[in-house]
Amino acid sequence: MELLHSATFPSKQKLLIVVTIATALFTIIPLLYPFLEDPNFFLKQQPPSQSSIIKLQNPVVASHEGCDIFSGEWVPNPDAPYYTNTTCWAIHEHQNCMKFGRPDTDFFKWKWKPYGCVDGLPVFDPFRFLEIVRGKTMAFVGDSVSRNHMQSLICLLSQVEYPVDASVKDDDYFKRWTYETYNFTIAVFWTPHLVKSIEPGQTHPKNTDIFDLYLDEADESWTADIGEFDHVIISSGHWHYRPSVYYENQTIIGCHYCQLPNITDLSMFYGYRKAFRTALKAILDSKTFKGVMYLRTFAPSHFEGGLWNEGGNCLRKQPYKSDDQAQDDTTRKLHKIQLEEFWRAEEEAKKKGKRLRLLDTTQAMWLRPDGHPSRYGHMPEANVTLYNDCVHWCLPGPIDNLNDFLLAMLKREKDKGLLAQVRKMLS
């Protein structure tokens, strides 16, 4: 009140000066910081190919406040891809569609266009991303699609810099890499169900395909370490389709397709909901995690003509139009469960001062039946379990666009922080 009742003109002038200075600093410093921090910045950059680098055309990524970036359609993007299977070492063989002879290339020449967003969704800018996460840490927590997402990010960032291995475990399921110029560390945590699970064959030796899921116990392989990270992206999906016995309070309470005597079938949806509720509770109850948690929603598979083990395949070469194909019933239910559990946890997060964010990419990925490896993730004569892979995503490919969304969310988070600083300066 003292500010409002003091001299009017000086107060307005002071306010104008503060806002002007703050705006200038927030615009200029992110662009100059690499040079101020390290005068040898350019000498340290060793990108694979100068021609493959996407230029920093706009220093500001749209914040997208007031529009839903997750509702939209795929439109052509002739400039893509921004890396290849020969310039990025992070591509696993079963995602290396071009190496194994996929004949078409249109599937990676699309970008997401949100409805009603004036600025659209900018294509991933690796320079801008690395500036935002300078000095930060990021973890991808989940299954093989989560790892697929992280590998896409590494490939996109390879336009600027290659990371060095900074793993603390000799285990490919728990890897860490550091971008030394930016002091940015990225990690992956393997936890396909998010909750404690026991592999098949240990508890039920006669049933070698049944998992034991402890639905009220989060998997400590990730919860024990998340306090080290500023950004945590969690996701889970396809492993919940598998036969499982469900436990709560260390007691069997039912199962999903276990076909064991005297055990009630509760369906996969029961287990899926409980797993996400427990995982989100672990975030909320963590005393060490002070960062931002992003729930990346379910990325659907696209088997047509049969199930994965019954000859199903994914041979489409273009995205669906937004109104062409409704989500299948299972995808719709899994997505709905994630949204409901996120909203439930978000209310509690507000009370505890925790930051939970929704990376709601299910509809965008549902519209991309053309983006899977199918039979182009291995040699034709290979003896593999998933011969026609319609679960994972080719690299490069549609999963790269998940990082367009991620960057937009990171920028939005940073803008909120800057706004809070300005408000503090004015208080």
What is the spatial distance between Cα 28 and Cα 32, in angstroms, rounded to a whole number? Answer: 6
Q: Check residue 122 and report its DSSP letter.
A: P
How many residues make up the chain in this entry?
427
The torsion defined by the Cα of 286, 291, 292 and 297, in degrees rounded to 10, comes to: -50
Helix, strand or coil, per DSSP, at residue 17: helix
DSSP 8-state symbol, 389:
B
> What distance in Å separates the CA atoms of residue 88 and residue 73, rounded to the nearest whole number?
28
CB-based burial, 174-206: b 16+ in 10 Å, e otherwise: bbbbbbebbebbbbbbbbbbbbbbbebeeebee
CA 291 → CA 3, 231, 283, 288, 342, distances in Å?
34, 6, 10, 9, 17
Task: Decide: 284 and 223 in contact? Cβ < 8 Å.
Answer: no
Cα gap 144→188, rounded to integer Å? 10
Residue type, 412: R
Return the structure tokens found at 115: 């409805």
Nearest Cα residue to 369 out of 323, 316, 322, 299: 316
Residues forming the active site: 144, 389, 392
Rounded to 5°, the CA angle 154-193-209 comes to 115
Contacts of 258 (CB under 8 A, 6+ apart): 204, 207, 210, 243, 244, 245, 265
Compute, in degrees rounded to 10, the torsion defined by CA atoms 164, 170, 176, 180. -30
Pair 376, 95: CB distance under 8 Å = no
Name 186's Cβ contacts closer than 8 Å, sequence gap at least 6: 137, 138, 139, 140, 150, 153, 154, 163, 176, 177, 178, 179
The secondary structure of 299-334 as a DSSP string is: -----BSS-TTTT-B----SPPPTTT-PPPHHHHHH
